[in-house]
Amino acid sequence: GQQVMQIPQYQHVQEGEDFTTYCNSSTTLSNIQWYKQRPGGHPVFLIQLVKSGEVKKQKRLTFQFGEAKKNSSLHITATQTTDVGTYFCAGRKDFSGGYQKVTFGIGTKLQVIP
């Protein structure tokens, strides 16, 4: 079945350092989404990537979708304490008839040390 592996599971960085989390799917995806979840909170949608090789930026966050649409990354430049939380990727595969399969990665928990 479809699996989405996400690494690392935990990351501690000094404030100002960069951070990257990676997702790899066992199958080709229709699209991939990224979410952030603060401790005790709910996932908040960050972005969706659809096209092969797509790169999108949101301020200090850069999202990439691999050429084969099987891997993706989220890179944060110069982390701040407000970046603390767990970052999830979610790979979506669409099938005929409207059926879709969404598989979340396990998440990367980011701690930023002031």
Partner 1 sequence: NAGVTQTPKFQVLKTGQSMTLQCAQDMNHNSMYWYRQDPGMGLRLIYYSASEGTTDKGEVPNGYNVSRLNKREFSLRLESAAPSQTSVYFCASNRQVPYEQYFGPGTRLTVT
Point out which residues bind partner 1 (CB under 8 A). 6, 31, 33, 35, 41-45, 48, 88, 90, 98-107
Which CB, 19 or 35, lies closer to partner 1? 35
Name the minimum Å distance from CB 98 to partner 1.
5
Which CB, 77 or 109, lies closer to partner 1? 109
Distance of CA 41 to the CA centre of its chain: 17
What's phi and psi for 82, nearest 5 deg?
A: -70, -10
Which CB, 37 or 77, lies closer to partner 1? 37
Reference 78, options 24, 26, 8, 13; nearest CA is 13
Amino acid (one-letter) located at 8? P
